């Protein structure tokens, strides 16, 4: 009996926290995206979380502009201020996709209605600042999700976006460095894979994430050498 309870508890925990598609994601079907369709030529998808961040995002945008690469930025609503509004406008102007992100796992506990209202307000804030709305995509903090979140996404016709296995910059409780990020990502990325790095920090809006800028500058040429092109989670022209 206790074994059954333990297994059920483990499955339930993974449904909320697994860094790969799991129970809720399969049930949600097209409402969940952890991998993009394979394309010819092979395409990978760079995504950046927790911005906008004055200490990092402008330099990251410079790298992307120099390399002529478009990416997807998942922005935290409370990080969008008078100081960071010009950065948000530049993200749009440079042709990148913009989507929604959260700074806390507490979103998991919201009712579907409250969650939908929260995302709608965040999208309206971005549109007020930039003159254009974000695309209909959301990434939860640390990938932690719940079924009420999926129900809320359905109400406003959004989808949840994850990432590929091990295609992240988290370094297992060790310091993140450009070397650790590039070493992990350059050989693992495949056609349709979603890569996640951080140009900001959920609790420190002005944290210097220099490793992301340096890693991106090194990673793009290496992936190009393997024959990859770069895409966005949603079409910026449709935002």
DSSP assignment, residue 168?
B
- What pLDDT band is residue 4 in, cutting at 50, 70 and 90? very low
Whichever domain contains 65, its CATH number is 3.20.20.370
Number of domains forming the structure of the chain = 1
Q: What's the token pair of residue 119?
A: 């995302």
Q: Summarize pLDDT for 92-126 with one digit per residue, the tens.
A: 999 999 999 999 999 999 999 999 999 999 999 99
Distance CA 109, CA 16 (A): 11
- pLDDT tens-digit series, residues 125-165: 999 999 999 999 999 999 999 999 999 999 999 999 999 99
Give the residue numbers annotated as catalytic, written as ranges: 49, 198
Element holding 100 (H helix, E strand): strand 97-101
Please determine, for residue 90, whether its predicted confidence score (pLDDT) is greater than 60: yes
Q: Which domain holds residue 216?
A: 2-238
Instruction: Report the pLDDT value the prediction gives residue 22, as an integer from 0 to 100.
Output: 84
Per-residue confidence band for 220, with pLDDT thresholds at 50, 70 and 90: very high
């Amino acid at each position: 009996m206790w074994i059954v309870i333990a297994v059920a508890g483990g499955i339930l925990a993974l449904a909320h926290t697994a860094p790969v598609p799991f129970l809720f994601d399969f049930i949600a079907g097209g409402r969940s995206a952890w991998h993009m369709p394979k394309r010819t030529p092979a395409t990978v998808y760079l995504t950046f979380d927790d911005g906008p961040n004055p200490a990092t995002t402008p330099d990251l945008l410079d790298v992307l502009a120099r390399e002529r690469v478009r990416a997807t930025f998942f922005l935290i609503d409370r990080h969008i201020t008078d100081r960071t509004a010009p950065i948000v406008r530049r993200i749009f102007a440079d042709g990148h996709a913009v989507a929604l992100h959260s700074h806390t796992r507490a979103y998991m506990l919201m009712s579907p209605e409250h969650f939908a209202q929260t995302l709608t307000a965040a999208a309206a804030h971005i549109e007020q600042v930039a003159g254009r709305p974000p695309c209909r995509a959301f990434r939860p903090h640390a990938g932690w999700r719940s079924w009420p979140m999926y129900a809320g996404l359905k109400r406003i016709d959004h989808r949840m976006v994850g990432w590929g296995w091990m295609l992240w910059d988290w370094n297992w409780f060790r310091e993140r460095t450009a070397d650790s990020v590039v070493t992990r990502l350059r050989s693992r990325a495949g056609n349709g894979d979603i890569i996640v790095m951080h140009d900001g920090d959920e609790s420190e809006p002005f944290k210097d994430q220099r490793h992301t800028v340096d890693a991106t500058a090194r990673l793009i040429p290496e992936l190009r050498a393997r024959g990859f092109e770069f895409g966005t989670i949603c079409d910026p022209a449709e935002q």
